[in-house]
């Protein structure tokens, strides 16, 4: 298993990125963490819809995103990698709007190479492969990062996607966030495989396990996979070993299934804490610097949430005219009825 | 003009579009070297090479799903599902993903994708190769569903489907692939989606059908004529979007309607057509609308299929009955 930073924040190898970049990565991890905490709180106040926080998994998603070039490379998410998406350029304001149920959150900004969030587990993977295959066919330098979870590896779409990716040598990195749980189901109930990474062997390309709570390990592993993909050598499956410290969603109650001691063990492996210890011990930042970053992130969130609240509610007729490029006679008459009565 | 079978007309349309638009990719199971199990893609691999005509793994989900990604990358995918009966292996990718690509991204992305699939019974194929599953796809907003009955329409509608900015399920009449021949205009000949065709003019009863049932309806119309009943046959050609005006105009004229579908009766597309008639032409109706459909059981194996698929005799019976109501 690839690891650079042990759980006490001790560096085991040369740091694979500059100190500035490491600090910036930490900042985005923190932004993801505080965003999720804020949203869970807002959801508890009835101000947000059901949401799936990524608490505890920030190193896995930010580390992977840091290995991409956002000018050429695509980020294809499931729904628990917002921290990584923030690094890739998804705006915080839209992230808040996602959790209030505003459709604009799915309208990925034009200059951003990212597909919308995906609720169907592993449903994005065949699309990511098609996208990667299509980029290669165009001689486009871009590569595709497709993110999913341990539960996703049980889906037919996972198997079909990885199989085709291997055949087509598609420039795609499959990042599996193994966070230990698919809602309440453990990985042992998901598969009899010794690891999820080993599944890549069956598809004819490398599978690598890395410490998913170690920003440097994820970054270096994905960076190498990106290099392979760009060189035309095809896909890589990366299993980032992490842990869901929060809830599956705000509708979930982990106390029904999660052993207390397991939770506590993983609290000790918190990726944020690990980075804090490392950055301070290396002299990149001191304790007051960390507090300043905390304050700055808090302020960013406040501003973004304010902006999000200013977003006008969608026009009630929003969905007409977006299912097809042009409106058929039948849909047109449904729209005129809607406009007369204000009802669907 | 040349006389072509339906499968030849489809092949012609694919070749025209691959020549005209370099973004068009043809892929699916066995579409490459061998030219498709029905030869619909015959010669394309040899002409356009393995980058644009691709034999894929045997996996409908990723055929449909990859088409979405390819479209986002700027290609125009024309995927083949070897038989519609197996499209359900990729149902999530077609109905939940492809159909919604534009909608769920509020227009940031779209999927100019055509999925071709032969369907329908009557060729003594094995289990699941003959089912008429069109209604599973007409209930998926975001998709268009096209079901031609003639060689000319197969060519013209396929050209329009490939050029359409939205995803199209292009359902080809398996029984008609080689059985139905007809004059097909040469060269570029797009036929507009969403427009029905009057396959036969008449004044007493309207029979509405699509795909291979159109020929069944025409035979029944011929037989009815011998009994002094003038039947108008409407070939819907496109199920989504539906040509509501053409249906309403014909039934307003005749006052009687029979709707024919190959699929089992319950929840079939014929029910949608009947509902449309009663909304649009209720006060012209002189008799209840009748449906001719397969019974509500799965498609049978070969020795029983001629007793299952609606035939001209059953349609004629319904035509006569509706004139007596």
Tell me the per-residue pLDDT of B173-218, one tens digit each, with 9 for 90 and over: 999 999 999 999 999 999 999 999 999 999 999 999 999 999 999 9
Q: Which domains does chain A possess? A: 19-313 (3.40.50.970)
Surface of B (136-175) touching A: CB under 8 A: 141-142, 144, 164-166
Q: Does B104 touch chain A (CB under 8 A)?
A: yes
Q: Where are the domains of chain B?
A: 2-184, 197-324
Q: Does B241 touch chain A (CB under 8 A)?
A: yes
Instruction: Select from B229, B193, B177 the least CA-distant residue to B5.
Output: B177
Residue to mutate among B29, B49, B62, B142, with most A CBs inside 10 A, is B62
Alpha-carbon Rg for chain B in angstroms: 19
Q: Which residues of A touch B236 (CB under 8 A)?
A: none
The pLDDT score that the predictor gives to residue A341 is 76
Structure confidence by residue, pLDDT tens digits, A53-72: 999 999 999 999 999 999 99
B197-324: same fold as B2-184? yes
- Residue in chain B closest to A123 (alpha carbons) equals B93
Whether residue B87 contacts residue B81, with contact meaning beta carbons closer than 8 Å, is answered with yes
User: At A144, is the secondary structure helix, strand, or coil?
Assistant: strand
Structure confidence by residue, pLDDT tens digits, B126-184: 999 999 999 999 999 999 999 999 999 999 999 999 999 999 999 999 999 999 999 99
The arithmetic mean of pLDDT across residues A267-277, rounded, is 97
- Mark A283-316 as b/e (b = at least 16 C-beta within 10 Å): ebbeeeebeebeeebeeebeebbeebeeeeeeee
Measure the CA–CA gap between B124 and A61, rounded to whole angstroms: 53
- Residue in chain A closest to B105 (alpha carbons) equals A107
- Give the nearest partner residue to A167 out of B51, B57, B240, using CB atoms: B57
Q: Which of A80, A248, A274, A278 is catalytic?
A: A248
The pLDDT score that the predictor gives to residue A342 is 66
Q: Do A120 and B61 touch (CB under 8 A)?
A: no
Q: Do A323 and B75 touch (CB under 8 A)?
A: no
- Give the nearest partner residue to B92 out of A120, A163, A324, using CB atoms: A120
Residue A325: is its pLDDT beyond 70? Answer: yes
The pLDDT score that the predictor gives to residue A54 is 97
- Give the nearest partner residue to B72 out of A131, A325, A329, using CB atoms: A131
Alpha-helix residue ranges (DSSP H) falling in B259-311 = 269-281
Q: How confident is the model at residue B19 (pLDDT cuts 50, 70, 90)?
A: very high
Q: Which of A136, A244, A269, A278 is catalytic?
A: A244
Task: Give one DSSP letter per residue of A241-280, joined into a string.
Answer: E----S-SSTT--GGGT--HHHHHHHHTT-HHHHHHHHHH
Q: Which residues of B touch A135 (CB under 8 A)?
A: 73
What ranges make up the beta strands (E) of chain A? 74-76, 144-149, 172-178, 181-182, 185-186, 207-211, 236-241
CATH number of B2-184: 3.40.50.970
Residue A316: is its pLDDT beyond 90? Answer: no
Structure confidence by residue, pLDDT tens digits, A31-50: 999 999 999 999 999 999 99
The pLDDT score that the predictor gives to residue B325 is 85
Measure the CA–CA gap between B95 and A106, rounded to whole angstroms: 18
User: At B234, is the secondary structure helix, strand, or coil?
Assistant: strand
Q: Do B73 and A157 touch (CB under 8 A)?
A: no
Surface of B (194-213) touching A: CB under 8 A: 194
Query: How far is residue B38 CA from its own chain's centroid?
Result: 17
Whether residue B102 contacts residue B155, with contact meaning beta carbons closer than 8 Å, is answered with no
CA distances in angstroms from A62 to A107, A224, B150, listed in the order given: 22, 16, 55
The pLDDT score that the predictor gives to residue B131 is 95
Q: How confident is the model at residue B3 (pLDDT cuts 50, 70, 90)?
A: very high
Annotated active-site residue A34? The verdict is no
Structure confidence by residue, pLDDT tens digits, B242-295: 999 999 999 999 999 999 999 999 999 999 999 999 999 999 999 999 999 999
Q: Do B65 and A103 touch (CB under 8 A)?
A: no
Q: Do A130 and B142 touch (CB under 8 A)?
A: no
- DSSP lists the bridge partners of residue B54 as B27
Structure confidence by residue, pLDDT tens digits, B82-105: 999 999 999 999 999 999 999 999
Question: Of all residues in chain A, what percent carry a pLDDT higher than 70?
Answer: 99
ipTM of the complex: 0.96
> DSSP letter at B124?
-
Annotated active-site residue A257? The verdict is yes
Q: Does B64 touch chain A (CB under 8 A)?
A: yes
Instruction: Select from B203, B270, B263 the least CA-distant residue to B236.
Output: B270
Q: Which residues of A touch B77 (CB under 8 A)?
A: 130
Q: Does A343 touch chain B (CB under 8 A)?
A: no
Q: How confident is the model at residue A344 (pLDDT cuts 50, 70, 90)?
A: low
H or E, element range at B238: strand B238-240
Say if domain B197-324 classifies as CATH 3.40.50.920: yes
Measure the CA–CA gap between B219 and B169, rounded to whole angstroms: 27
Cα angle vertex B321, ends B315, B323, to 5°? 110
Task: Give one DSSP letter per residue of B67-110, joined into a string.
Answer: HHHHHHTT-EEEEE-S-GGGGGGGHIIIIIIGGGHHHHTTTS--
Measure the CA–CA gap between A211 and A263, rounded to whole angstroms: 17
Find all residues with CB under 8 Å of B132, minimum gap 6, and list them.
B119, B120, B121, B211, B261, B262, B263, B294
Q: Do A127 and B165 touch (CB under 8 A)?
A: no
Q: How confident is the model at residue A343 (pLDDT cuts 50, 70, 90)?
A: low
Q: For chain A, what is the mean pLDDT?
A: 96
Surface of A (76-115) touching B: CB under 8 A: 103-104, 106-110, 115
The arithmetic mean of pLDDT across residues A132-155, rounded, is 98
Q: Which residues of A touch B165 (CB under 8 A)?
A: 325
The arithmetic mean of pLDDT across residues A223-241, rounded, is 98
Measure the CA–CA gap between B69 and B56, rounded to whole angstroms: 15
Residue to mutate among A120, A127, A171, with most B CBs inside 10 A, is A127
């Amino acid at each position: 298993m690839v690891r650079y930073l042990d759980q006490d924040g001790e560096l085991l190898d040369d740091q694979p990125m500059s100190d500035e970049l490491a600090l910036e990565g930490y900042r985005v991890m923190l932004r993801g963490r505080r965003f999720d905490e804020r949203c869970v709180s807002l959801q508890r106040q009835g101000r947000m819809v059901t949401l799936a926080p990524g608490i505890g998994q920030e190193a896995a998603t930010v580390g992977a995103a840091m290995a991409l070039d956002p000018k050429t490379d695509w980020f294809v998410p499931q729904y628990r990698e917002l921290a990584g998406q923030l690094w890739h350029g998804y705006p915080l304001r839209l992230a808040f709007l996602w959790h209030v149920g505003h459709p604009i959150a799915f309208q990925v900004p034009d200059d951003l190479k990212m597909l919308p969030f995906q609720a169907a587990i592993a449903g994005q993977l065949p699309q990511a492969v098609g996208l990667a295959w299509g980029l290669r066919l165009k001689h486009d330098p871009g590569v595709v990062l497709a993110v999913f979870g341990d539960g996703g590896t049980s889906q037919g779409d996972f198997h079909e996607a990885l199989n085709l990716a291997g055949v087509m040598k598609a420039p795609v990195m499959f990042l599996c966030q193994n966070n230990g749980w698919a809602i309440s189901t453990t990985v042992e109930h998901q598969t009899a495989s010794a690891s999820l990474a080993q599944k890549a062997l069956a598809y004819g390309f490398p599978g690598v396990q890395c410490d998913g709570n170690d920003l440097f390990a994820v970054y270096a592993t994905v960076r190498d996979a990106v290099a392979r993909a760009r060189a035309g050598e095809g896909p890589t499956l990366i299993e980032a070993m992490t842990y869901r410290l929060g809830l599956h969603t705000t509708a979930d109650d982990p106390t029904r299934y999660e052993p207390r001691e397991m939770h506590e063990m993983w609290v000790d492996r918190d990726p944020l804490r690990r980075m804090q210890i490392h950055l301070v011990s290396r002299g990149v930042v001191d304790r007051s610097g960390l507090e300043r970053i905390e304050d700055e992130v808090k302020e960013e969130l406040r501003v973004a949430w304010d902006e999000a609240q200013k977003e006008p509610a969608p026009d009630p007729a929003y969905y007409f005219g977006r299912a097809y490029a042009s409106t058929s006679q039948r849909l047109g008459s449904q729209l005129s009825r809607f406009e007369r009565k204000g009802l669907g | 003009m040349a006389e072509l079978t339906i499968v030849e007309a489809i092949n012609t349309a694919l070749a025209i579009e691959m020549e005209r638009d370099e973004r068009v990719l043809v892929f699916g199971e066995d579409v490459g070297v061998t030219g498709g199990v029905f030869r619909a893609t015959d010669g394309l691999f040899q002409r356009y090479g393995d980058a644009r005509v691709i034999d894929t793994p045997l996996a409908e989900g990723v055929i449909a799903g990859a088409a979405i990604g390819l479209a986002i990358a700027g290609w125009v995918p024309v995927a083949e599902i070897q038989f519609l009966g197996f499209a359900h292996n990729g149902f999530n990718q077609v109905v939940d993903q492809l159909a919604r690509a534009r909608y769920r991204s509020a227009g940031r992305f779209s999927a100019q994708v055509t999925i071709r699939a032969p369907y329908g019974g009557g060729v003594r194929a094995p289990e699941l190769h003959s089912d008429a599953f069109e209604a599973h796809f007409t209930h998926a907003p975001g998709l268009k569903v096209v079901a031609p009955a003639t060689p000319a329409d197969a060519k013209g509608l396929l050209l329009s489907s490939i050029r359409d900015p939205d995803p199209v399920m292009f359902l080809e009449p398996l029984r008609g692939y080689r059985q139905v021949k007809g004059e097909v205009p040469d060269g570029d000949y797009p036929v507009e989606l969403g427009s029905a065709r009057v396959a036969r003019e008449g004044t007493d009863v309207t029979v509405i059908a699509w795909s291979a049932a159109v020929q069944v309806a025409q035979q029944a119309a011929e037989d009815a004529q011998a009994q002094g009943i003038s039947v108008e046959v409407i070939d819907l050609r496109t199920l989504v979007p539906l040509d509501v005006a053409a249906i309403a105009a014909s039934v307003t004229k005749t006052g009687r309607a029979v709707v024919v579908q190959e699929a089992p009766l319950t929840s079939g597309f014929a029910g949608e057509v009947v509902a449309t008639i009663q909304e649009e032409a209720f006060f012209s109706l002189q008799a209840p609308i009748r449906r001719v459909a397969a019974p509500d059981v799965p498609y049978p194996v070969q020795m029983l299929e001629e007793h299952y698929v609606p035939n001209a005799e059953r349609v004629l019976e319904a035509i006569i009955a509706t004139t007596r109501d």
